[in-house]
Structure 1
Amino acid sequence: MMTTVNALSVILLVCGGLFFLAGTLGLLRFPDVYTRLHALTKADNLGLGLIVAGLSLDVESWLTVIKLLLIWGLVILASASIAHLIARGALLRGIKIWKG
């Protein structure tokens, strides 16, 4: 029988996976590099945050929770930096923004 904490953990993990799926669909469906970057960085950062929250409920030590939060913070910094570099490179190469 699942406890309330385990059920909440499973819900957070599934929601995190759905955000990763949404980011992947955005990568495949959106028309230009800028909207694709937006979909990936936003959805994946939130998805990883939900997964970290779900995993944090199941670990037994606070040190592991701190490590998970540190990993999440580093991924957020890295994804923002890389997305900025990719968007800047696209602008410098003359790739136009999609106007719809």
Structure 2
Amino acid sequence: MSDDAFWQRPAQGASQPPPSAPSSPAPAPYTGAPRSAPPPRGWRPPTVERPAPPRKLPAQDVERIEREEQAATILTKGMGIFAGAVILVLLLIFCGRLLF
């Protein structure tokens, strides 16, 4: 039997298939969660102690932070310029070898 034979229409004079079995009755609707037992008299949820208030942070030295940021910026830019110069020299050497 080929895969398509299953889906073909029955022959003209073929008998009708038997009726299908009756479907099962519809399930009962959801009635909600079951009731829970109440807690014992006098019960309270556990409490947590309040933590101490946060301490005061030390004051920041804004001038020192600015000086350190400026020094870091100068160092970063200097390293970038140096790396760019090295790459440029290597590129010139490489291109010079290809041309000559």
**TM-score for the superposition, normalised by structure 2:** 0.34
Task: Tell me: higher relative CO, structure 1 or 2? Use CA pairs within 8 A at least 6 residues apart.
Answer: 1
Query: By percentage of residues, which structure has more helix?
Result: 1
